[in-house]
Amino acid sequence: METLAQRLAAGDDLQLIDVREPDELALASLPRFVNLPLSQFGVWGDTIHSQLEADKETAVLCHHGMRSAQMCAWLAQQGFTNLHNISGGIDAYSTVVDRSVPRY
């Protein structure tokens, strides 16, 4: 988790995906993350390769790490090769890294 924070602060060139719902993002979010809610998979699923680069390092975030794990598994099936599930999600980020990020 601290490594993610360091890489975000350094501006590292990562693809950052948040799979939470828009109402969850309204409660707590991190900069630079693109919102691709799993519930709206039908809207964005067919265009994933035009939105993201399959071989670029990609970090996926949700609330606790379950939905992001599902997304990582699906992205791997689509040929994405450098995936990181942010285990513990934004909840862990707010407790371990930045307490100013609200918990919900």
Q: Which domains does the chain have, with CATH numbers?
A: 2-96 (3.40.250.10)
3-class secondary structure, 61: strand
For residue 11, what are its two tokens? 């501006």
Q: Which of 87, 76, 71 is nearest to 35 (CA)?
A: 71
HSE, side-chain direction, 13 A CA sphere, residue 9 = 8
Assign 86 a pLDDT band (cuts: 50, 70, 90).
very high
Is 62 labeled as catalytic in the residue annotation?
Answer: yes
What is the reported pLDDT for 1?
A: 87
Select which of 62, 72, 92, 97 is catalytic. Answer: 62
**Global model pTM greater than 0.75:** yes
Consecutive H or E run containing 60:
strand 58-61
Query: What integer is the mean pLDDT of 25-30?
Result: 98
